[in-house]
Amino acid sequence: METLLLDGETVADNAPMDALVDAVEAAFAAYERGDATMPPKSYVDLPQYDGDFRSMPAYLDAGDWDAAGVKWVNSHPHNGERHGLPTVMGTMIYSDPETAVPLSIMDGTALTTRRTGAAAAVATDHLAVEGASSLGLVGAGVQAHAQLDAIATVRPIGTVVVADADAERARAFVDAVSDRFDARVGTIAEAAACDVLSTVTPVRDPIVAADAVGERTHVNAVGADAPGKHELADDLLAAATLVVDDHAQCTHSGEINVSYGTGRLTDADIHAELGEVVTGAKPGRTPEDGVTVFDSTGLAIQDVAAAHVVYERATAAGAGTRFDLLGLATE
């Protein structure tokens, strides 16, 4: 009855992308089947500190395993300048659904990064053309690495084009992946012309134009995570086959939130939630489809599924630190 403490490095070491992609896909399927419980994300605003806390709880039954947990995550934009701390920090509490024992307390930041990449890979697997071999990335930060690692597990990615407002960061990204991929720095238009495009920026004015995207490109829109954020042009969204991770979250704070709020997009423009595509309730890519877009906001079921993978692998490897959090150890 001990609790396993896992830091960020240990989480990353025990979160292989192939296993995460499978687990996250199972989570979306469970959610669609009604075998998951995911209350809305709740917020604790802290205007006196220019920040907030968010709680993301969920339970899911994937069939051969079930899992429960809650992620407690913050956003304090001035942490760096004021305290020398990250803007966002997360902690995941992973619990046994049967007994409620906290099985693990793990770093939620590394977990979030990798499960976000895994969700994009699930969408890519169902919505990109089969032989997709080029990946464009708009944004060259940590999430860009996760997108590449994950998408390369579901498509034979050979060519990578990365665009970033910070040229030095884009070059560093290329240097970091050039031993595995034919990677180069390019413009946003060059990245958008690839078979798959992932956008991972915090912009509020669209930077990807409709005419820049390839005729059959699949786009993972990952950067928008708050009202007002918006990476893709309205015309691009309106013309695409649009799949969202969760209708309520995406219309509130996902890529489509601005277009939906103005009425440029309506429910009639949303093809499906990803769970519907995963289970076959709605079709994925068809021969008639041109551009497809996945609006990814990040769900608690993804965190729980990823935590399941990490906990099981770390336990098998003897990783992490065990401690008697609840004082249940017997003599």
Cβ-in-10-Å burial (0-12, 13-18, 19+) of 112 comes to buried
Looking at residue 208, the DSSP 8-state letter turns out to be B
**What tokens does 259 get?**
């277009």
Q: Note if 71 is an active site residue.
A: yes
Which secondary structure element, helix H or strand E, spans residue 135, and what is its range? strand 134-138
- Give the whole-angstrom CA distance, residue 62 versus residue 65: 5
Q: Check if the beta carbon of residue 113 is closer than 8 Å to that of residue 104.
A: no
Q: What is the CB neighbour count within 10 angstroms for residue 108?
A: 26
Which amino acid is it at 72? Answer: W
Catalytic residue among 41, 71, 229, 282: 71
Q: What is the CB neighbour count within 10 angstroms for residue 50?
A: 12
| Residue whose C-alpha is closest to residue 118's, from 89, 154, 72, 157 | 154
Helices (H), 128-263: 142-151, 167-177, 188-192, 234-239, 247-253, 257-262
Q: Spell out the SS3 assignment of 247-302.
A: HHHHHHHCCCHHHHHHCCCCHHHEEEEHHHHHHCCCCCCCCCCCCEEEECCCCHHH
Contacts of 106 (CB under 8 A, 6+ apart): 4, 5, 6, 7, 10, 11, 91, 92, 94, 307, 310, 311
Q: Check if the beta carbon of residue 28 is closer than 8 Å to that of residue 38.
A: no
Q: Check if the beta carbon of residue 5 is closer than 8 Å to that of residue 321.
A: yes
Cβ-in-10-Å burial (0-12, 13-18, 19+) of 102 comes to middle
Which residues are identified as catalytic? Answer: 71
